[in-house]
Amino acid sequence: MISPALERFISQAVIRSREQAEPADCVLALAPLMLDLIDQAGTFLEPQHFRSDPGGYARNLVYDAADESLSLYSIVWLPGQWTPIHDHGSWGVVGVIEGVLEERSYVRLSPDRGADSGIDLARGGTVLLRRGAVTSFVPNPDHIHITGVPSERPRAVSLHLYGRMMSDFNVYDVGARTRRRISVAHNES
Ligand SMILES: [Fe+2]
């Protein structure tokens, strides 16, 4: 049973994402929906969406479209849990519903944006996102970042909407100057 607030969000997200061919226009159209969805999170998130894993941040599926064109996850970040350095290869919109989510960016200095080797990354800035904050990203140029919670801060929970099933993404090895595609797991609802 899907709550009215989530149903409205999904139906609007489907309409707006179909209307926008450009990923940058898509996230512009969807970010306000995420801003509203955060306030409604209590009406549709269930205990299974708050599952955590001491071994690493936990990705809990909230909704996936039958045609796999959209997916929504709740991600639970325990203190000290971080992603690897990654990009998603697609657009995404993120909203924070609990705690402070930290995102540290990287900038690709090497000119060939599509190359999987010979990659030079420089560390960029950081953003701290409290409950109610929304952030987004688009592919090409890829948004390269790590996301997580430092060990001195409490748990964070965030909602992540993507323009596909987010079952794989690109991870970077700074020392080897490489990028490779890896599969990422999630918990079904
Ligand atoms: Fe990410």
The tens digit of pLDDT for each residue in 109-167 reads 998 888 999 999 999 999 999 999 999 999 988 899 999 999 999 999 999 999 988 88
pLDDT at 2 over 90: no
Whole-number Å distance, alpha carbon 35 to ligand 1 midpoint, is 18
**Closest listed residue to residue 88, CA positions, set 174, 172, 168:** 168
Cβ pair 12, 31 in contact under 8 A: no
User: How many Cβ atoms sit within 10 Å of the Cβ of residue 120?
Assistant: 11
pLDDT reported for residue 87: 94
Q: Are 94 and 136 in contact (CB under 8 A)?
A: yes
The DSSP code for 56 is S
Q: How far is the CA of 5 from the centre of ligand 1 (A)?
A: 25
Q: For residue 94, how far is its CA from the centre of ligand 1 (angstroms)?
A: 9
CA 91 to ligand 1 center in whole angstroms: 10
pTM of the model: 0.95
- Residue 88 CA to ligand 1 centre (angstroms): 6
The answer to whether residues 158 and 148 touch, using CB atoms and an 8 Å cutoff, is no
Both tokens of residue 4?
């009215």
Count other C-beta atoms under 10 Å from residue 84's C-beta.
12
